[in-house]
Every structure is written in C-alpha cells, then in structure tokens.
Amino acid sequence: MKINTIKKLCCPFDKSDLTLTRISEDTEERIMEGWLHCAQCKRIYPIVKGIPIMNPDAYREFEMEKPLFEKWQKQLGEKEVKNFRLVE
C-alpha cells in the first residue's frame, strides 16, 4: 500500500487519525508489512502483503492475527495486543 493512500485512511470506528508503524517496504516504497494504530480507541490494524486489515472486530479472528503480533513483539516493545487493541 502506498504511503499516500495510508495518509487518507482513518479509524473506521471513531474516524480518528491513524499512526503507521512500518515493518517492511518494497522497492517502490509501498508498505508491505506493518500496522496502523488509532490513539483514540487503541485499535491496531495489521498491514499484510500491502493490505490493511480494517474489518470490524466481530469479523476478525485474533488467532489468525496472533502470529503477526508475536512476530512484531520487538517493534511493539512492552505493549501487547488484547481484543484488537494495543495496550501497555
């Protein structure tokens, strides 16, 4: 996903701005892996293969996303993901 497109996105729940954390990019500077985070509601939206997963919580499966969060634990630092929210 191109950075210009990401800048146009907002949290689908409360319409707040999202903060991008980059994990990897391709040669054309498209974000291939990372996450978007809403500071207002604390939700975290993973970006996988350039596609942000921004479905409503009821349609997301934590067990499917859990390996990503475990892989990104170094970038998450002391924070962890619970109920699709990034908490300290």
Q: How confident is the model at residue 27 (pLDDT cuts 50, 70, 90)?
A: confident
Strand stretches in 1-88, DSSP E: 18-25, 31-38, 44-48, 51-52, 80-82, 85-87
Would you give the distance in Å from CA 52 to the centre of its chain?
Answer: 7
Domain count, the chain: 1
Domain containing residue 27: 3-87
**Whole-prediction pTM value?**
0.89
Q: What is the pLDDT of residues 35-87, one digit of tens each?
A: 999 999 999 999 999 999 999 999 999 999 999 999 999 999 899 999 999 99
The pLDDT mean for the chain works out to 92
Q: What is the mean pLDDT of residues 17-26?
A: 94
Task: State the average pLDDT over residues 10-27.
Answer: 93
